């Protein structure tokens, strides 16, 4: 192992840094293994008188020692990399825990805001229903007095008031959120919860039913 590798290994702290050192050590190990094969061939030749046998064996021993050292260092560096990876994972989980805790606090604020708005919506619906019933009663009196032109069309009034652009729902919503959104949108949509089907006896596509009209929600009549 070169002094550069030793210096880099000594500075390594993260799993990625240890992995980079291990990659360099693997390259050195492969070179040493290739060199050992060549030295073994040189030893074989020296046995038959082609070269210095003692020098060949000394070089082969040095190479084997270097290979053994590199293998030990690679194993040790691998353990350091694994421990660094576990430490980083724990740090990531801890950071995620802090992030989720903050998001939970924000979620609580959102739910409290939603509750306030729902209560406000309920109060507005109560007031609207009272007004609609008052107007429906007056419409009956206008009919009886023969001044139907004074009647107020409650459906037209409501639909005009609820017309306008609507926010698009996000692409990914949970099933409860989708159901809640559909319910809220139904307050604004013709045919929704505040706009039921025409009562029995009301004209449908220009044809009047033979049934007797019935009172609908919010004081309206078919």
Question: So where are the chain's domains?
Answer: 3-100, 153-219
Q: What is the Cα–Cα distance from 199 to 58, expressed in whole angstroms? A: 107
Q: Tell me, what's the pLDDT at 216?
A: 47
Q: Determine contact, residues 45/38, Cβ cutoff 8 Å.
A: no
Q: Tell me, what's the pLDDT at 189?
A: 86
Q: Tell me, what's the pLDDT at 6?
A: 72
Q: Tell me, what's the pLDDT at 117?
A: 95
Q: Tell me, what's the pLDDT at 212?
A: 34
Q: Tell me, what's the pLDDT at 142?
A: 95
Residues in the chain: 222
Low-confidence ranges of the chain (pLDDT < 50): 203-217, 222
Q: Tell me, what's the pLDDT at 198?
A: 57
Q: What is the Cα–Cα distance from 196 to 53, expressed in whole angstroms? A: 105
């Amino acid at each position: 192992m070169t002094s550069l590798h030793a210096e880099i290994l000594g500075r390594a702290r993260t799993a990625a840094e240890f992995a980079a050192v291990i990659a360099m050590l693997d390259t050195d190990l492969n070179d040493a293994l290739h060199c050992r094969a060549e030295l073994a061939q040189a030893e074989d030749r020296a046995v038959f008188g082609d070269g210095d046998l003692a020098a060949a064996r000394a070089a082969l021993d040095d190479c084997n020692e270097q290979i053994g050292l590199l293998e030990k260092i690679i194993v040790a560096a691998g353990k350091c990399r694994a421990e660094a990876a576990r430490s980083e994972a724990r740090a990531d989980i801890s950071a995620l825990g802090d992030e989720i805790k903050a998001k939970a606090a924000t979620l609580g604020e959102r739910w409290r805001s939603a509750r306030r708005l729902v209560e406000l919506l309920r109060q507005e619906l109560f007031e609207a229903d009272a007004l609609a019933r008052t107007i429906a009663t007056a419409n009956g009196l206008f009919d009886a007095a023969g001044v139907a032109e004074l009647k107020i069309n409650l459906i037209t009034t409501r639909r005009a008031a609820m017309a306008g652009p609507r926010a698009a729902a996000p692409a990914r919503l949970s099933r409860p959120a989708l159901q809640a959104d559909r319910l809220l949108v139904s307050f604004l949509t013709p045919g929704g919860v505040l706009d039921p089907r025409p009562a029995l006896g009301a004209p449908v596509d220009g044809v009047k039913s033979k049934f007797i009209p019935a009172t609908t929600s919010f004081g309206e009549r078919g």
